[in-house]
Chains A and B, each alone.
Chain A
Amino acid sequence: MHIPDGYLSPQTAIPFVALMIPVWGIAVKKVQKTLKKKEVPVLAIGAAFSFTIMMFNLPIPGGSSAHAVGAVLLAILLGPWAACIGVSVALIIQALIFGDGGVLAIGANCFNMGFVMPMVGYYVYRLIKGQAESLSTRSLIAAFMAGYLGLNAAALITAVEFGSQYHLFQAANGMPLYFPVPLKVAVAAMMSEHLILAGPVEGLVTALGVWFVGKNYPAIMAERMEIGGRLDDWGVGKHV
């Protein structure tokens, strides 16, 4: 899902960077208010976990591959804005140090996996979980669905970004200038991989992670979910 440089036109890639700068600003402000000092290690280790889980490429029949991201797990544990910062840092390191994902494309990649994915995942989790306990079956099913839908939301927006290039940017002779595959094909390929394989893996990682942290560090889950988790604000006012 890491878009390389050249796949997006500069007219697409640069606005995403411009968009992400204020988003990161808001994220830092939110985190400054809501994250506790003792939770910083959880965000740091969690983002390193996300970095590493993205290295586990899953083989896709037909010769492709895909991977889970771990962004929804972070969002559930620490809130979507903290997840945005954590996953963005992982993605920027991946681009600069490992050449995974483009540098011009950092804005788009951070938007997809560092913003859309944790936001969608977080609200899906809260919606399905309701007032259930963090370690209840309902909460773990909610975590699975949140991971599944969060990753697929990111995959869809990624496919739309590069697939649209084929139609929007063509040379005078009609040849595509950037990503050379039509939108329909890009969406079909990306969604089949993520709906069938990577999505369920993301769901499992998310549910297992919520279970593991809830079991071993119940205070972290309680902090985010039980105390401010009234349905009227979904814990948004207090804990996001």
Chain B
Amino acid sequence: MIGGLASMFKSFRKLWLVLGVLIVLSPLGLIATGTAFGEWGLDELMEEVGFIPAGLEKLADFWTRSPLPDYAIPGLDATLVQSAGGYILSAVVGAALVIAILSLLAKIVKD
């Protein structure tokens, strides 16, 4: 696996470089503080429409085990630097997981 990853790195150097630059720049995504349409949390929903639908409220907390909710380290989002750090860490963790999972495809595809 380590050897495989090393040769992956070598053969597509420039793609890795682009990914790295994007990850470092990712805190730019924090500039847009508004929540996307239709992605409001319960408190924002209250502001948008004035009530919280009963069925929505029941299902909203279906999954509460995200270790890095909203791409942030829980409790570490007081300052912009902390948010930016959490955001970059999230990008690194997410990218690493995605790459690790998809690398498994190498076991089932043709040479």
Contact = CB atoms under 8 A, between A and B. Distances in A.
A52 B94 contact: yes
Given A64-B37, A178-B55, A5 B98 contact: no
Nearest to A103: B63
B12 A93 contact: no
Query: Among B37, B91, B108, which residue has the most Cβ atoms of chain A within 10 A?
Result: B37
Nearest to A181: B49
Given A64-B37, A96-B66, A49 B59 contact: no
A133 interface: no
Nearest to A61: B34
A43 interface: yes
Contacts, number: 221
A179 B70 contact: no
Given A6-B56, A180-B49, A64 B15 contact: no
Interface residues of A, number: 78
Contacts of B35: 64-65
B80 interface: no
A195 interface: no
Given A53-B22, A93-B94, A44 B36 contact: no
A41 B12 contact: yes
Interface in A1-40: 1-7, 9-10, 28, 31-33, 35-40
B76 interface: no
Contacts of B1: none
A180 B38 CA distance: 10
A186 interface: yes
A60 B8 CA distance: 38
A100 B37 CA distance: 13
Contacts of B67: 97
Interface string A83-100: 001100110011111111
A6 B44 CA distance: 14
A186 B12 contact: no
A102 B62 contact: yes
Contacts of B23: 52
B105 A31 contact: yes
B105 to A, nearest CB: 5
B14 A98 contact: no
Interface of B: 8, 11-12, 14-16, 18-19, 22-23, 26, 28-39, 41, 45, 48-49, 51, 53-63, 65-71, 87, 90-91, 93-99, 101-103, 105-106, 108-111
Q: Which 8 A-B pairs have the closest CB atoms?
A: A177-B55, A59-B32, A99-B66, A6-B59, A48-B95, A6-B56, A57-B32, A6-B60
